[in-house]
Structure 1
Amino acid sequence: MTVREDAAKTDTVRLLLVDDHAILRQGLRTVLDAESDLEVVGEAAHADEALAAAAHLRPDVALLDLKLSASSEHEGLEVCRRLARAYPTMGLLVLTTFLDDHLVVDAVHAGARGYVIKDVDTTELVRAIRAVARGESAFDSRSAAAVVRSLNGPSDDRGRLTERELEVLRLLANGLSNNKIGAQLFISATTVKFHVSNIMRKLGVSRRAEAVYAASKGGLI
């Protein structure tokens, strides 16, 4: 092997993809392997696979979804925490559909160097991966705003609902189930459940009916 080839190999960022959806992992692999300095060396669908793959492959960067099973909304946070403790030099980048101030901050506290939403374009995702590989932080504009809000001090986020949460809340007020709300918004029932949980937390209630009542009283719907 020549010096040039050896240097190229050393400069390659080795990636581990952790997501419970095989089709998404396949898509990511296709996109990322097309970059000359990125190489997907492993995939994992759940927490145990992720931990085992990280121990065996020692990737430079792990891309982590937060939801890795139907039984847990944020299992990826615990995986992130365990990887950060075991491999301090490994870059951890959260790639998820969920955007919530608390989740972004929790991910940072768990050891993530970056947080991007899955609808980010390819260029921005690749840029984030490279930044994390260099030991830098990488957040898309929405996640960065959440970090800034957290740095400005604790605040009461009751009533500060996202546009998606307001959509879910309006359908909730019409008496629709999670499945029917998901069908109308083209999202899964599990994602609807996640939004409903956030809505109740922000409104300071513990039941769906109370959320509707509080939102109506507060002029949100």
Structure 2
Amino acid sequence: MMLPLRVMLIADDPLVRTGLAALLSDGSDCMVVGQMASDANVVAEAEVYRPDIVLWDMGWEPVDVARLECLADLRDHGIHSVVLLPDAGTGTEAWQVGARGLLLRQVEVDRLVSALRAVEQGLVVWDEAVAMPMVTATADALPGADILTPREHEVLTLLAEGLPNKIVADRLHISEHTVKFHVNAIMGKLGAQSRTEAVVLATRRGLILL
């Protein structure tokens, strides 16, 4: 018998949290183990609740940097996440920092549960409407250096020198947490699995010179 999937819910609207919890608990094989708003320490909460997966409703507003940083932190701690997006054009940044499931907010509950299960098992799930803008954006970005922001380029250049996050943060007068966020974004944009691979790929594309 398959064990219930332990899901931790994140949503700023308490009514959305309540609604999602009810949907997932009603006849599905999911068990909601924790609920919180996005301003919580989501990694610390995940360590308490020990979910199999995180379901994060992004609401109707644009996805902001703070929530993207939290997604990156979850990925760094080995916690898979599925994100509910407001529209089809907002998935790229969430994907780059670690979300492995990208669905629109109006997804049907059966598809949502299937996506949660698939991502928990190591698969990637994109809603069809979300996938096309992402593929197009990635294809447009690959040839040129403009796939990286100026700050990401600065961070990448210092990574190429073999500097740790703390030194990079000191050099750029930003926090280590922000450096970590930029590193995750760089890896996502370049399709790299490590810092070293990101430097190698960037060098091959002429984004940096060693």
Question: Of 119, 122, 141, which residue of structure 1 is paired with 2:106?
Answer: 119
Alpha-carbon RMSD across the aligned residues, in angstroms, is: 2.5
Matched, 1:37 2:21: no
Q: Which of these two proteins has the greater Rg computed from alpha carbons?
A: 1
Q: Residues 62-105 of structure 1, C-alpha deviation per residue, up to 9 Å, x if partnerless? A: 0113469x9x734321111011112x2x22111121432xx422
Number of aligned residue pairs: give it.
142
CA distance in 1, matches of 2:130, 2:65: 16
Aligned residue for 1:112, secondary structure, equals: coil
Residue 154 of structure 1 and its aligned partner are, at CA, apart by 1.9
- Kept in 2, the 8 Å contact 1:43–1:50? The answer is no
Residue 96, structure 1, aligned to residue 88, structure 2: no
Moved more, 120-129 or 45-54: 45-54
Greater relative contact order: 1 or 2 (C-alpha under 8 angstroms, separation 6 or more)? 2
- 1:13 partnered with 2:13: no
Deviation of 1:135 (Å): 1.0
Question: Could you tell me whether the CA contact under 8 Å between 1:66 and 1:74 is conserved in 2?
Answer: no
CA distance in 2, matches of 1:78, 1:152: 24
Equivalence map 1:82-161=2 (5 Å)? 82-86=73-77, 88=78, 90-100=79-89, 103-154=90-141
1: CA distance, partners of 2:115 / 2:133: 17
Q: Structure 1 segments of 4 or more deviating over 4 A?
A: none
Instruction: Report the counterpart of residue 76 of structure 1 in structure 2.
Output: 67
Q: Which residue of 1 aligns with 2:14?
A: 22
Gaps of 5+ in 2: 143-210
**Secondary structure in structure 1 of the residue aligned to 2:40:** helix
Within 2, Cα distance between the matches of 1:36 and 1:117? Answer: 19
**Ranges in structure 1 where 5+ consecutive residues have no aligned partner:** 1-6, 156-221
Secondary structure of residue in 1 paired with 2:141: coil
Q: TM-score, normalised by structure 1?
A: 0.57
- Structure 2 residue matching 1:115: 3-state secondary structure: strand
What is the Cα deviation at residue 36 of structure 1?
A: 4.0
